[in-house]
Amino acid sequence: MILIGNAETIIRKAKRYADLGIDQLICYVQWGYLEHQEILRTIEILGKEVIPELASYRPRRAAP
């Protein structure tokens, strides 16, 4: 699955996957025709906003 959007959207979608039992996230930010500065900004947002929020999240798994 590909997660595209602002930090809030990525966090919301990643939490939904965590609730389903997904426990790994691969962040591939160099694709398409993105300029180097855009890639660096994406990495900065991941490090400052997305990763800290996901690191403290405790998934709510559905009952079997």
Tell me: the pLDDT tens digits for 2-51?
Answer: 888 999 999 999 999 999 999 898 888 888 888 999 999 999 999 999 99
Token pair listed for 51: 């990763």
C-alpha pair distances (Å), 18 with each of 12, 33, 41: 10, 30, 25
On whether the pTM is more than 0.75, the answer is yes
